[in-house]
């Protein structure tokens, strides 16, 4: 049995009178890839932000390697924060710094690495995501997908023990989603512990070791991808899955299929029309299902 990295107990968070997290409990073990799904406003981002102390929980505890990070002093909090990499929907790269400087800044400042050492490691990480040629470029010269890969590398440069992702692909053009998901798959394969909020159901199905469904500030379903996706569900989870299967999943799948076919030079106009019609059918079916 793998050891527990994060243990969350009865986590609550309120903003004024609005109770957003209503007592979450779960454990994240070393090497797990936990995917969080659920309707908008359910508290997914707030949960992630509590985990790395961007928000202070109102109640409950978060044990990181056994240390309660909610009660820790500032110095301990900062140390623990730097052990958790966080990647957001918007890349938050420093616009006035080169890609290399974006990546090496924190390792130099916080980990006390020399410039040479930090740069050598940064170049290795950039090579891993296929971007070593962009080291001297500035963020505005990169595509969205490239920026997000750099944002991931920047987190990895701190050698985090866990990576938290909040909808890392939802601000990207469809043709760039795949390259970012590939980097995340590679991380997962190499044993990185990950918590990922995403609408990419195929990623969830293929990569997650566990799926959490969060709605109304509670985890209302939890299981392996098989348990969540391959079995019929009633109530909100069923409705939600019907919806995402109808749009995001179909859209992403179809966009990938079209691009792949275009790359291979085998797609024809009538085939494009066919896949679009199929997408429409799925959408209508999903709508019908949700109403039934
Ligand atoms: N800083 C804040 N102040 C006040 N309310 C907030 C704050 N952050 C989030 N909320 C509220 O908390 C609730 C949960 O928000 P959260 O962003 O965690 O949801 P989510 O599940 O990530 O949604 P989405 O899928 O749209 O990203 C929402 O009602 C939101 O308006
Ligand atoms: Mg969110």
Q: Give the pLDDT confidence score for residue 2 in this predicted structure.
A: 83
Q: Give the pLDDT confidence score for residue 174 in this predicted structure.
A: 87
90-99, 142-151, 237-246: which has the highest mean pLDDT?
Answer: 142-151
Mean pLDDT of the chain: 86
pTM: 0.83
Residue 45 Cβ < 6 Å to ligand 1: yes
Report d(CA 118, CA 173) in Å as an integer.
31
Q: Give the pLDDT confidence score for residue 233 in this predicted structure.
A: 76
Q: Give the pLDDT confidence score for residue 230 in this predicted structure.
A: 76
Residue 101 has a CB neighbour count (10 Å cut-off) of: 18
E runs forming strands in 186-226: 193-197, 210-215, 218-223
Q: Give the pLDDT confidence score for residue 257 in this predicted structure.
A: 52
Q: Give the pLDDT confidence score for residue 275 in this predicted structure.
A: 56
Report d(CA 235, CA 108) in Å as an integer.
50
Residue 46's pLDDT band, with cuts at 50, 70 and 90, is very high
| pLDDT tens string 213-233 | 999 999 999 999 988 887 777
Kindly report the protein residue whose alpha carbon is nearest to atom 26 of ligand 1: 40
Average pLDDT of span 24-29:
97
Residue 102 Cβ < 6 Å to ligand 1: no
Q: Give the pLDDT confidence score for residue 9 in this predicted structure.
A: 97
Average pLDDT of span 86-112:
91
Q: Give the pLDDT confidence score for residue 235 in this predicted structure.
A: 76
Average pLDDT of span 41-53:
94
Q: Give the pLDDT confidence score for residue 292 in this predicted structure.
A: 41
Ligand 2: centre distance to CA 196 (Å): 11
- For β-strands 193-197 and 210-215, DSSP reports them as unpaired
Report d(CA 256, CA 3) in Å as an integer.
37
Ligand 1 atom with the shortest distance to the CA of 15: 4
Kindly report the protein residue whose alpha carbon is nearest to atom 3 of ligand 1: 15
Least confident span in 23-37, 57-71, 160-174, 278-292: 278-292
Q: Give the pLDDT confidence score for residue 229 in this predicted structure.
A: 82
Ligand 1 atom with the shortest distance to the CA of 39: 25
Ligand closest to CA 16: 1
Report d(CA 278, CA 284) in Å as an integer.
10
Ligand 1: centre distance to CA 54 (Å): 13
Kindly report the protein residue whose alpha carbon is nearest to atom 8 of ligand 1: 46
Give the CB-side neighbour count of residue 93, counting CA atoms within 13 A: 29
Q: Give the pLDDT confidence score for residue 222 in this predicted structure.
A: 93
Residue 18 Cβ < 6 Å to ligand 1: yes
In the predicted structure, residue 56 carries a pLDDT above the cut 50: yes
Q: Give the pLDDT confidence score for residue 248 in this predicted structure.
A: 53
Ligand 1 atom with the shortest distance to the CA of 48: 18
Mutate to test the pocket of ligand 1, among 41, 42, 49, 196 (most ligand atoms within 8 A of CB): 41
Q: Give the pLDDT confidence score for residue 269 in this predicted structure.
A: 47
Q: How far is CA 161 from CA 80, 115, 164, 208, 215, in A?
A: 10, 23, 10, 17, 27
Average pLDDT of span 36-48:
94
Q: Give the pLDDT confidence score for residue 201 in this predicted structure.
A: 87
Report d(CA 292, CA 290) in Å as an integer.
6
Contact 83, 160 (CB under 8 A): yes
Question: Percent of the chain beyond pLDDT 90?
Answer: 64
Find tokens 């990181």 and name the residue.
64
Residue 279's pLDDT band, with cuts at 50, 70 and 90, is low
In the predicted structure, residue 202 carries a pLDDT above the cut 90: no
Ligand closest to CA 19: 1
Residue 15 Cβ < 6 Å to ligand 1: yes
Q: Give the pLDDT confidence score for residue 276 in this predicted structure.
A: 57
| pLDDT tens string 151-200 | 999 999 999 999 999 999 998 988 899 999 999 999 999 999 999 999 88
Ligand 1: centre distance to CA 40 (Å): 8
Residue 42 Cβ < 6 Å to ligand 1: yes
Contact 52, 155 (CB under 8 A): no
Order of strands, sheet of 67-68, starting from the edge strand that comes earlier in the sequence? 18-29, 4-15, 59-64, 67-68
Average pLDDT of span 113-122:
96
């Amino acid at each position: 049995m793998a050891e527990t990295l994060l243990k969350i107990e009865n986590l609550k968070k309120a903003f004024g009178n609005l109770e957003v997290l209503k007592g979450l409990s779960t454990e994240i073990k070393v090497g797990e890839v936990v995917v969080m799904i659920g309707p908008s406003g359910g508290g997914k981002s707030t949960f992630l932000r509590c985990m790395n102390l961007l928000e202070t929980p109102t109640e409950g505890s978060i044990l990181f390697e056994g240390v309660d990070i909610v009660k820790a002093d500032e110095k301990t909090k900062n140390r623990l924060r730097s052990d958790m990499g966080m990647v957001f929907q918007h890349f938050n790269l420093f616009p006035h710094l080169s890609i290399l400087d974006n990546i090496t800044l924190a390792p130099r400042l916080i980990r006390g690495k020399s410039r040479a050492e930090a740069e050598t490691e940064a170049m290795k990480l950039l090579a891993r995501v296929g971007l070593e040629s962009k080291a001297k470029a500035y963020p505005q010269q990169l595509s969205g997908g490239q920026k997000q890969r750099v944002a991931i590398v920047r987190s990895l440069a701190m050698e985090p023990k866990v990576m938290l992702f909040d909808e890392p692909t939802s601000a990207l053009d469809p043709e760039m989603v795949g390259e970012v998901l590939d980097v995340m798959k590679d991380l997962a394969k190499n044993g990185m512990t990950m918590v990922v909020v995403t609408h990419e159901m195929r990623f969830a199905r293929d990569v997650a070791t566990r799926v959490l469904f969060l709605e109304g500030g509670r985890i209302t379903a939890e299981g392996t991808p098989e348990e969540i996706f391959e079995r019929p569900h009633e109530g909100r989870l069923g409705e939600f899955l019907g919806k995402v299967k109808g749009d995001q999943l179909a859209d992403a799948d179809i966009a990938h299929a079209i691009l792949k076919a275009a790359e291979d030079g085998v797609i024809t106009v009538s085939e494009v029309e066919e896949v679009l019609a199929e997408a429409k059918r799925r959408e209508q079916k999903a709508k019908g299902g949700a109403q039934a």
